């Protein structure tokens, strides 16, 4: 088969699945819905694997599907660019998606929206594939917005819950703020390059990137910087970077399978992918890279801190995702693009494991998400426990799990990078490793070890405040009775299948991916990568070397502290919390971003809108001008009516005065 045909099949097969499940699912039933969507995603995965094999053999290609629109001297089309970067993303996306499809059969078994859910996640897979396979900015933007749409639909999947429909609106709007920058970035590309095709833009970029643009009078910026910052603002929205991160924790209102698929493994990494894709542009702007690295560093460290005070199991994982995304962003800023993609890939697997494992616990406890009502689960759910443990080990970056290789490479890249701000990022990245080790194992110990608290014996272990993490209390929670059971095979199988790469893929992929020139032309080659290659002596050596380095001991220290606080002295966290007062409050209120945004942006926009409507439209325009004119006319009419007295001599007198006036005018003119 033609490669283009295979690519088309890979992208559109999930769309067909989604359409069938969505349009006919209500009639043909649940089995039909999951069969058809799983089959369609499986086809997509197979096609992606074929393409991966082809690009590995050097057969990268680009092709046009159809012309979307054309004008004077430009044309925009829908087409695919399948190179090594794309192929890696395609395989990651379709593999995780397939696992999540499978898992959903078990997780959503008793949900009335079963068919709708399958339709949505297949639609998501299609959108994500369109995003990663795009060969031009317009299609990228289409995929970008389409994944946002499906994310919106899925966060609000349980649309009766007020928190869910608050969260999905928030997610959409915050993403729109990012898209605002993204679209303006695209606008600059179109205005100055006259095209939206990647290939052409990258070719022209070195000559145009330093064109000075005066955005404010007397202040000139380089075109490349403006474009890259604009695009990155989009990435900040989609990949939940500070300060646009606020939507991701709330997105946990959606069902857990999509937290794994969309809000951990794939969609939120779209921003990372995009920057890597645009690496030829970012390479031309040191200023933009600096911006990227600082934002990434702030996100990586400060979001990790929030994770340690969360008691909702999904929110812990969500904040850990934010932090990991920050690590990827730092790698981008350090111009180590392949490292970012490498971490994206390992993270996709181990974070999917963590989320799906959390989901497995949540269904075992009948939709209990609060870790204060868990504990001691490992003996009831051995498979879930083992896989979550693997996920935590990988997340903490302990060797030889997948996360170790990617996270250590990032830290190495920060160390070697010449980007201004890399030192700052390096410090925060190291500190983040300690925090990461802590929150990862806090989750494991809190939920799976210790006393069993799911019968509601009132053991307020940890005692992280009765408020939970702000706004996500579950009112009227039923007490759980009985014994938790391991989940059915449709749930555990994906866990195991995802745990395998969480263990092994780092070891196996680091050498070819980072140093074997895997990405070839698809990502810009950089100094940072060259420097790193000099230091790299094989995966085995890297593991051995790690035992003597700071990151390893920091991660281990974090894990050890978690063990001490949650296994040995479970009474301590409450004491620490009470003593740390203000700091704990700041973290529990998530630095106050939500409150500020609600008050300033949401409230401010409503107040401004209300003011403009009341004063602008109703008082000034309608009241004064429109109805005022009407009143004025009425007043004149009343006046004119008085003149019409009906006496002939009044009219005659008026006529004479008028005639005199006209004559005067006439003469004075001459």
Partner 1 sequence: MTQSLPILSLVTWLPIAFGVAVLAVGNDRSPAAARWTALVGSVLGFLACLPLWTGFSTAPGAGMQFEELKAWIPLFNVNYHLGVDGISMPLILLNSFMTVLVVVAHWKVVTDRVAQYLAAFLIMSGLINGTFAALDAIVFYVFFEAMLIPMFLIIGVWGGPNRVYAAVKFFLYTLLGSLLMLAAFIFLYHKTNGSFEILDYHKLPLGMTAQVLVFLAMFMSFAVKVPMWPVHTWLPDAHVEAPTGGSVILAAITLKIGAYGFLRFNMPIAPDASHALAGFMITLSLVAVVYIGLVALVQADMKKLIAYSSISHMGFVTLGFFLFNAEGVLGGLVQMVSHGFVSAAMFLCVGVLYDRVHSRQISDYGGVANTMPVFAAFFVLFAMANSGLPATSGFVGEFFVIMGAVKVNFWYAFLAATTLIFGAAYTLWMVKRVVYGEVANENVAALKDVDARELVFLVLLAACVLAMGVYPKPFADVMNPTIHELLKHVATSKLS
Q: Which residue ranges make up the site for partner 1 (CB under 8 A)?
A: 66-72, 138, 141-142, 145-146, 149, 152-153, 156, 159-160, 162, 165-166, 169, 172-173, 176-177, 179-180, 183-184, 186-188, 190-191, 213, 215, 605-606, 608-610, 612-613, 616-617, 621-622, 625-626
Give the three-state DSSP class for 340. Answer: helix
Q: Which is nearer to partner 1, 194 or 382 (CB)?
A: 194
User: Quick check: 79 and 63 in contact, CB under 8 A?
Assistant: yes
Q: Is the peptide bond before 400 cis (omega within 30 degrees of 0)?
A: yes
Residue closer to partner 1 by CB (options 72, 207) is 72
Nearer to partner 1, 70 or 460 (CB): 70
- Rounded to a whole number of angstroms, the minimum distance from the CB of residue 475 to partner 1 is 13
- Which is nearer to partner 1, 165 or 584 (by Cβ)? 165
One DSSP character per residue, 353-412 reads HHHHHHHHHHHHTTS--BGGG---GGGT-HHHHHHHHHHHHHHHT-TTSHHHHHHHHHHH
Are the beta carbons of 254 and 163 closer than 8 angstroms? no
Q: CB-based burial of residue 511 (10 Å sphere; 0-12 exposed, 13-18 middle, 19+ buried)?
A: middle
State how far the Cα of 610 lies from the Cα of 32, in Å rounded to an integer.
49
Residue 633 CB, shortest distance to partner 1, in Å, is 10
| Closer of 19 and 49 to partner 1 (Cβ) | 19
To partner 1, the closest distance from the beta carbon of 201 in angstroms equals 14
Q: In which residue are the tokens 């089995």 written?
A: 31
| Nearest residue (CB) to partner 1, 267 versus 313 | 267
CB of 61 to partner 1, least distance (A): 23
User: CA 389, 273, 405, 435 torsion: positive or negative?
Assistant: negative
Tokens found for residue 159: 């649309």
**Which of 613, 651 has the CB closer to partner 1?**
613
- Between 71 and 581, whose beta carbon lies closer to partner 1? 71
The least distance separating partner 1 from the CB of residue 307, rounded to whole angstroms, comes to: 29
Of 253 and 283, which CB lies nearer to partner 1 in the complex structure? 253
Output the smallest distance, CB 670 to partner 1, in A: 25
Q: Residue 412 — φ and ψ, nearest 5°? A: -60, -45
> Shortest distance, CB of residue 132 to partner 1, whole angstroms?
16
Closest distance to partner 1 from the beta carbon of 632 (Å): 13
Give 370's strand partners: 312
Report the b/e string of 436-471 with b at 16+ CB within 10 A.
bbbbbbbbbbbbbbbebbbeeeebebbebbeebbee
> Rounded to the nearest whole angstrom, what is the least distance from the CB of residue 449 to partner 1 in the complex?
38
Smallest separation (angstroms) from partner 1 to the CB of 473: 17
Encode burial over 240-276: b for 16+ CB neighbours within 10 A, e otherwise.
bbbebbbbbbbbbbbbbbbbbbbbbbbbbbbbbbbbb
Between 58 and 217, whose beta carbon lies closer to partner 1?
A: 217
> By the 8 A CB rule, do 48 and 128 touch?
no
CA angle centred on 69, ends 63 and 72, rounded to 5°: 110
- Six-digit token string for 303: 């979001």
**Cα separation of 268 and 245, whole Å?**
10
Q: Which is nearer to partner 1, 146 or 561 (CB)?
A: 146
The two three-digit tokens of residue 613, written as one number: 């409507």
User: What are 157's two structure tokens?
Assistant: 């999947």
CB of 160 to partner 1, least distance (A): 5
């Amino acid at each position: 088969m033609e490669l283009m045909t295979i690519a088309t099949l890979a992208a559109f097969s999930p769309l067909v699945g989604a359409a069938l499940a969505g349009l006919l699912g209500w009639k043909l039933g649940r089995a039909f819905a999951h069969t058809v969507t799983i089959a369609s995603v499986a086809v997509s995965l197979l096609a992606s694997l074929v393409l991966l094999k082809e690009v590995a053999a050097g057969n990268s290609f680009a092709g046009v599907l159809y012309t979307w629109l054309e004008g004077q001297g430009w044309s925009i089309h829908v087409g695919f660019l399948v190179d090594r970067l794309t192929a890696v993303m395609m395989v990651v996306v379709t593999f995780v998606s397939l696992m999540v499809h499978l898992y959903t059969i078990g997780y959503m078994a008793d949900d009335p929206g079963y068919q709708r859910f399958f339709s949505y996640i297949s639609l998501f897979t299609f959108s994500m594939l369109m995003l990663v396979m795009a060969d031009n900015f317009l299609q990228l933007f289409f995929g970008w917005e389409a994944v946002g749409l499906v994310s919106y639909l899925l966060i609000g999947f349980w649309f009766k819950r007020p928190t869910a429909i608050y969260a999905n609106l928030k997610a959409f709007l915050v993403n729109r703020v990012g898209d605002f920058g993204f679209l303006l970035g695209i606008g600059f590309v179109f205005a100055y390059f006259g095209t939206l095709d990647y290939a052409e833009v990258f070719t022209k970029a070195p000559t145009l990137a330093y064109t000075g643009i005066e955005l404010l009078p007397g202040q000139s910026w380089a075109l490349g910087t403006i474009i890259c910052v604009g695009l990155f603002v989009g990435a900040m929205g989609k990949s939940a970077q500070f300060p646009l991160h606020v939507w991701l924790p709330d997105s946990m209102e959606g069902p857990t399978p999509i937290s794994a698929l969309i809000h951990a493994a794939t969609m939120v990494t779209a921003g990372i992918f995009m920057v890597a894709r645009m690496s030829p542009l970012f390479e031309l702007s040191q200023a933009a890279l600096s911006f990227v690295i600082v934002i990434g560093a702030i996100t990586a460290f400060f979001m990790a801190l929030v994770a340690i005070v969360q008691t909702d199991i999904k929110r812990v994982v969500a904040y850990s995702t934010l932090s990991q995304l920050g690590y990827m962003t730092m790698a981008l800023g350090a111009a180590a693009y392949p490292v970012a993609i490498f971490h994206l890939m390992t993270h996709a697997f181990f974070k999917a494991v963590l989320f799906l494992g959390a989901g497995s616990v949540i269904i075992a406890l009948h939709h209990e998400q609060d870790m204060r009502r868990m504990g001691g689960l490992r003996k009831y759910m051995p498979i879930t426990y083992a896989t979550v443990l693997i996920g935590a080990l990988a997340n903490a970056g302990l060797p030889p799990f997948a996360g170790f290789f990617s996270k250590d490479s990032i830290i190495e890249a920060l160390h070697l990078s010449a980007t201004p701000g890399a030192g700052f990022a390096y410090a925060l990245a190291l500190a983040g490793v300690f925090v990461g080790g802590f929150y990862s194992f806090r989750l494991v110990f809190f939920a799976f070890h210790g006393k069993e608290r799911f019968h509601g014996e009132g053991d307020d272990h940890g005692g992280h405040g009765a408020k939970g993490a702000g706004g996500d209390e579950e009112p009227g929670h039923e007490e759980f009775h009985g014994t938790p059971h391991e989940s059915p095979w449709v749930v555990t199988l994906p866990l195991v299948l995802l745990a395998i790469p969480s263990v092994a893929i780092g070891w196996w992929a680091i050498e070819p991916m980072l140093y074997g020139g895997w990405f070839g032309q698809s990502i810009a080659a950089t100094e940072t990568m060259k420097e790193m290659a000099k230091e790299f002596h094989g995966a085995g050596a890297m593991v051995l070397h790690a035992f003597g380095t700071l990151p390893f001991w920091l991660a281990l220290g974090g894990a050890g502290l978690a063990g001490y606080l949650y296994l040995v002295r479970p009474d301590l966290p409450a004491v620490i919390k009470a003593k740390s007062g203000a700091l704990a409050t700041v973290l529990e209120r998530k630095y106050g971003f939500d409150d500020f945004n609600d008050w300033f942006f949401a409230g401010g926009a409503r107040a401004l809108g209300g003011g403009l409507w009341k004063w602008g439209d109703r008082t000034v325009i309608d009241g004064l001008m429109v109805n005022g004119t009407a009143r004025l006319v009425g007043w004149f009419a009343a006046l004119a009516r008085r003149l019409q007295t009906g006496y002939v001599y009044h009219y005659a007198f008026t006529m004479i005065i008028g005639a005199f006036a006209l004559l005067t005018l006439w003469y004075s003119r001459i």
